[in-house]
Amino acid sequence: MSNGPQYSTIIRSLEPSVPFVSPFTIERDMGRPFRLRLGANESSFGISPKAFKAMNEALETLYWYCDPEAYDLRQALAKRHGVTVKEILIGSGIDDLLGLTVRTFMDPGDVAVTSMGTYPTFAYHVKGYGGKIHFVPYTEDFRNDLGALVDAAKRTNAKLLYLANPDNPSGTHYSKPQVESFLNNVPDCCLVILDEAYIEFAPRDVGTPIQTHDRRVIRMRTFSKVYGLAGARIGYAITNSETVDAFDKVRLHYGVNSVALAGALASLNDPTFERTVIQEVQRGRHEYETLGNKLGLPVLPSYTNFVCFNLQDMAVAKRVALELKKRGVFVRQANGQPFDRFIRVTVGSPTERTIFSEILSEVATLLEVIHG
Ligand SMILES: *Cc1c(COP(=O)(O)O)cnc(C)c1O
């Protein structure tokens, strides 16, 4: 009767799924590398020279296990954010911390709320732990619908509510008072995950004050974007110390490698590098905006390291993404409403932006010819 080992009920219920198709996979399919890699919101500005040096030095003791408490990094982060070491948790990127949060707060069958079309890894983990995901549509102007998210959390008795601010893929954001009033309206038994992967690119007044006495909020940040350490896989959460203790029961204590820890710590000690990246990204966003206006492809206002060009129509956006791909340019076209009419483009280096501008102009002209 037995057909060998059986997968768990949850695993058997899941459709095969990958949150993102990686540019490496696409390159293997194409049989050649991309010329411009602008589809994954990676930094085009490398890493801090201080991080580079520290990571090289860390190789000398690579035969040791890492510090499972990541003490030095947590201390530096605590100081930076005005909280205590016990209120900081390190993980191998926000993606890891999202999974841990789901595991720590949800039982199979519990409900979590998120926006339809936002960063997909949260929903991926909810499903993977047997939770139910409730999607809330964006507003007409492509913003997370804060009121509807709160209503949905109340209606479904949600354990978790996910909000990216600034948001991916839209790039839109909410200001401090808007987020504060949203947090005040969320029901008491629901934990809000504030994904702040892009907060460093936003003006100072976007980040709400960090109040770790409030057990209802966990904020997540990453070294993948402004610090350029995406491949090193390291991020952190700021939350109540009780919650950090709960995570300690199940987290992978040696899951963040010592090279990443060294790079992250050194990155925090290089404010000049950070400022340069932020300024260059800001300049690049303005260039993209000007380009979009020139080509009749208006962009969504963005406080991140990427910009969405509006093609008004899913089929057109698909065509543009394909034509760009043929010319060696990797950008992302979202699946499904409401973002499938956009192409999302990372802010590249000055050289990359010049090449992108030429290629997008060429593709736009080609489309005009087709539609004209
Ligand atoms: C890029 C991104 C992440 C991924 O962060 P990692 O720390 O690299 O796992 C998380 N959330 C959002 C909204 C992102 O855009």
Enumerate the domain spans of the chain: 9-37+272-367, 49-269
Span 17-71, pLDDT tens digits: 887 889 999 999 999 999 999 999 999 999 999 999 999 999 999 999 999 999 9
Task: Compute the distance between CA of residue 324 and CA of residue 322 in angstroms, rounded to an integer.
Answer: 5
Span 260-309, pLDDT tens digits: 999 999 999 999 999 999 999 999 999 999 999 999 999 999 999 999 99
Per-residue pLDDT averaged across 84-99, rounded? Answer: 98
Instruction: Please name the amino acid found at residue 96.
Output: D
CA of 56 to the centre of ligand 1 (A): 25
Please state the φ and ψ torsions of residue 261, each to the nearest 5 degrees.
-60, -45
Atom in ligand 1 nearest the alpha carbon of residue 118: 13
Pocket test residue of 43, 115, 144, 225 for ligand 1, highest count of atoms within 8 A of CB: 225
Return mean pLDDT, the chain.
95
> Can you name the CATH fold of 9-37+272-367?
Aspartate Aminotransferase, domain 1 (3.90.1150)
Pocket test residue of 92, 115, 172, 224 for ligand 1, highest count of atoms within 8 A of CB: 224
List the residue whose alpha carbon is closest to atom 5 of ligand 1. Answer: 94
Which residue ranges have their beta carbon within 6 Å of ligand 1?
41, 93-95, 119, 164, 168, 195, 197, 222, 224, 230, 235
Q: 9-37+272-367 with 49-269: one CATH topology?
A: no
pLDDT band at residue 206 using 50, 70 and 90 as cut-offs? confident
CATH architecture of the domain covering 49-269: 3-Layer(aba) Sandwich (3.40)
pLDDT band at residue 190 using 50, 70 and 90 as cut-offs? very high
pTM beyond 0.85, yes or no? yes
Alpha carbon distances (Å) from 133 to 126, 129, 335: 7, 11, 18
Task: Compute the distance between CA of residue 301 and CA of residue 103 in angstroms, rounded to an integer.
Answer: 34
For residues 161, 165, 168, 171, the Cα torsion angle rounded to the nearest 10 degrees is: 150
- Secondary structure (DSSP) of 301-357: P-SSSEEEEE-SSHHHHHHHHHHHHHTTEE-B--SSTTGGGEEEEE---HHHHHHHH
